[in-house]
Amino acid sequence: MTKPIISIRNVTKRYPGVVAVDDVSFDIMPNEFFALLGPSGCGKTTLLRMIAGLETSGTGDIIVDGHNMEGVPANTRPVNMVFQSYAVFPHMTVRDNVAYGLKVTGVAPADIAPRVEDALEMVQMSAMADRKPDQLSGGQRQRVALARALVKRPKVLLLDEPLSALDAKLREHMQLELARLQQVIGITFIIVTHDQDEALSMADRIAVMEKGGVRQIAGPEELYEKPHSRFVADFIGKINLIDATVSGVSKAGVTCVANGLGTVIVPHDGAASGSISLAVRPEKLTLSAEAPPPGSGISAKGVIRDVAYYGDVSNVFVTCDDGLELAVNVQNDRAAAGLLENGREAYASWHPSDTLILQE
């Protein structure tokens, strides 16, 4: 079994009046692309900065490659960071920026130049080595920041919202680029982001954080398909959450009375009791003009309230009995053509096995 490259053990960080990081523990494996995902203020950046040694140490242990980082100052930790603002030194050329980290740690001058060239090559910035940062675009500055951190050959690369300052198109490109770089270099990346698409598309594993705590750690698919909580389900993608009360548990699944749906049976492995939420992704729902044949799944009759057109798909909002609102993703094919009209009656239906039961 491989040893984790980073172990976070019961790390807590308090600011006056607020707990930024609340008793967090997890391991990150070597060569992993790990994402800390959560809304702003959830403590993800604080945690990243604690790993870097830039934040006052709280309580708990941060172990990097077997060494406890307690009391180790930022400048001697075997991790490097790409800052949200990139923090590319404006008074130095691209080359000097990349060489800085080697120069200040006493790397022999003869070794610096080839390493800098390699790093610039890796991020395709060799041609701009003599430029000053103010002559670079945002994306180019980010490449410099990447090269500057990677040239140090850190055990772990930390990236603080690295793509948030880029426009949408460039962001998509850089997502692929980062994933490629991580593959090539083969070191651990920890990325902090509030953008779920970014985390889902790049990371091997994602820790979803809320209010200083980690809510779930899983791979992208598991996180999307099997969220553990309402928060995670709601934060990762769009989802319909339906209040329900459990009335019985059997081999067939959980029997419950759901708001607007009546009594339904949902296949479920674990235990369930009391009030729960039924969760189903909008793309699992189908919309039809006729009532689906009985026994073919869960369905609800309602009125189309709003249709948001996105080209290939439309997001349709259906209001059902008891004020239940369902969002349905409809492929804009021929079948949908006549159906999507405000005020029209329609049936939203889905397979019971696409339904998740969320206890909290």
Sites of contact with another protein (CB under 8 A): 9-10, 52-61, 70-71, 73-76, 79-81, 83-85, 87, 89-91, 100-101, 104-105, 132-134, 145, 148-149, 152
Least separation in angstroms between CB 335 and another protein: 51
- Upper half-sphere CA count for residue 169 (Cβ side, 13 Å): 0
Q: What is the largest CA-CA distance in the chain?
A: 78
Least separation in angstroms between CB 145 and another protein: 8
Nearer to another protein, 132 or 284 (CB): 132
Least separation in angstroms between CB 199 and another protein: 22
Least separation in angstroms between CB 254 and another protein: 40
- The tokens for 98 are 């990349």
Least separation in angstroms between CB 109 and another protein: 16
Least separation in angstroms between CB 16 and another protein: 11
Nearer to another protein, 53 or 260 (CB): 53
Nearer to another protein, 99 or 357 (CB): 99
Q: What dihedral do alpha carbons 202, 208, 210, 216 form, nearest 10°? A: 180
Nearer to another protein, 43 or 58 (CB): 58
Nearer to another protein, 149 or 208 (CB): 149
- Three-state SS string over the chain comes to CCCCCEEEEEEEEEECCEEEEEEEEEEECCCCEEEEECCCCCCHHHHHHHHHCCCCCCEEEEEECCEECCCCCHHHCCEEEECCCCCCCCCCCHHHHHHHHHHCCCCCHHHHHHHHHHHHHHCCCHHHCCCCHHHCCHHHHHHHHHHHHHCCCCCEEEEECCCCCCCHHHHHHHHHHHHHHHHHHCCEEEEEECCHHHHHHHCCEEEEEECCEEEEEECHHHHHHCCCCHHHHHHCCCCEEEEEEEEEEECCEEEEEECCCEEEEECCCCCCCCEEEEEECHHHCEEECCCCCCCCCEEEEEEEEEEEECCCEEEEEEEEHHHCEEEEEEECCHHHCCCCCCCCEEEEEECHHHCEEECC
Least separation in angstroms between CB 57 and another protein: 6
Least separation in angstroms between CB 125 and another protein: 17
Nearer to another protein, 157 or 199 (CB): 157
Least separation in angstroms between CB 10 and another protein: 6
CA nearest neighbour of 191 among 234, 140, 146 = 146
Question: How many angstroms separate the CA atoms of 33 and 182, rounded?
Answer: 7
Nearer to another protein, 61 or 65 (CB): 61
Nearer to another protein, 81 or 181 (CB): 81
Give residue 134's Cα distance to chain centre: 31
Nearer to another protein, 87 or 170 (CB): 87
